[in-house]
Structure 1
């Protein structure tokens, strides 16, 4: 009777069911982001009658201009699942509830401009300012050190160049390094093969600049951890990263225990 009521006995009914899931999923996903330029969702189910049992053949999402936690922007983010089991009755009520955990293949594209903008975010700044580890305070005469004006330049073959300023009291020293990006434990972005770049630094301060540059590299290696950006019920893991022009591409997967309702 329910199948006849919603029209699942014909193609029009199948379209109705897929359109319902598309609409509810799109609205749910949009609410995970502070802002989004576009969010497109595609649900496949054949035959459409499987929707009544909550079975979906595949679920795809592609979003552009997504802002996470108010301050972190991704140029593009997409994911695709295999078969997914959902509670269809929850979709009728405007929510997506999983019957069991699932995994999704994920791809994230970050622009060089967005990476640099992220260094202005509060979550990042508090890990770069007013630092007092022993190695730094020895350089600064006991004063807290702050790294500001961070600029990242993406280079071929997963390399980056990074410029910054180290400051304490009335002293400011530039820092400059190149390194290779890598992945550790599928959740951390590591800055490997750190190399101090002397050509950007006045010879009179190169020694102190080198010490500060290497200290900055160590700080960055402990800072970029995906677990700090996980959504409720979702864990992100990385398989690869690549630099392509002015874009940084991450590919991996998302382990989804439940569909989060807010970001």
Structure 2
């Protein structure tokens, strides 16, 4: 086996050990997602004899149609590392383990449809349902308030249009329509700033309530989207930039990889 790792190549010149490492890495990465449309992994190591010391030159991954934790759809995800030290014995057993932490340049693309799907996930709805907030006591008569049917529309220049309903659990639904600017705080949190409440289609008797509820919802969202809550085990994402582009929201940054997680 070791002889093959250091010398055997296929007709295209791809080293056997490199191909084996690509296969193991692909299987490992696929297991991180509930489902995936495609996952492509490319591991480079030249000369291949460096594999015996667990040294590889680069590790690239690109995926499409990914699902994380059954509810969070990712249109595209890619990352690329520099040189990486791995445990070569783990490759022989069909696994991939790092000898030391590494970093990777990363990009994540979310679609408008995927974002709206995420607002139906339990991890999100539990932070929007049955809220007992002091600033809502007068409006709700002491009843808990739930924000429901949240829909997001991506707009140019990092703006979002948000449509929702506030439920006072008394049969009354208050419509909320607003636009916000999204940005990055501390490289890990998506901020929702400068909310502008649209009251044009709201009935006169509900305008004050709609404005108050819209500002409260914006504040809740501003404190909710923290990447540390969504991290895979052993992997932390950090953001440098985000931008809206058509019906996609694109994040770019880097991943701190302490170890390769076994499941997503």
Could you state the TM-score of these two structures normalised by the residue count of structure 2?
Answer: 0.96
- Tell me whether 1:100 sits opposite 2:100 in the alignment: yes
SS at 1:8 equivalent: helix
Change (3 A) 1:66 1:251: same
The residue that corresponds to 1:11 in the other structure is 9
Deviation at 1:98, TM superposition (A): 0.5
SS at 2:260 equivalent: coil
Contact 1:41 1:59 in 2 (8 A): yes
Deviation at 1:7, TM superposition (A): 4.5
Contact 2:5 2:15 in 1 (8 A): no
The residue that corresponds to 2:39 in the other structure is 39
Root mean square deviation, CA, Å = 1.3
More displaced stretch, 18-27 vs 194-203? 194-203
The residue that corresponds to 1:211 in the other structure is 212
More displaced stretch, 44-53 vs 144-153? 44-53
- Residues 27-49 of structure 1: CA deviation (Å, up to 9, x unaligned): 11111111111110001112222
SS at 1:199 equivalent: coil
The residue that corresponds to 2:27 in the other structure is 27
Structure 1 residues 149-188: aligned runs within 5 Å: 149-168=149-168, 169-188=170-189
2: distance between equivalents of 1:200 and 1:105?
44
The residue that corresponds to 2:69 in the other structure is 69
Contact 2:54 2:88 in 1 (8 A): yes
Change (3 A) 1:57 1:204: same
2: distance between equivalents of 1:163 and 1:70?
24
The residue that corresponds to 2:148 in the other structure is 148
Change (3 A) 1:138 1:235: same
The count of aligned residue pairs is 261
Contact 1:14 1:48 in 2 (8 A): no
Contact 2:5 2:48 in 1 (8 A): no
2: distance between equivalents of 1:97 and 1:136?
50
Could you state the TM-score of these two structures normalised by the residue count of structure 1?
Answer: 0.96
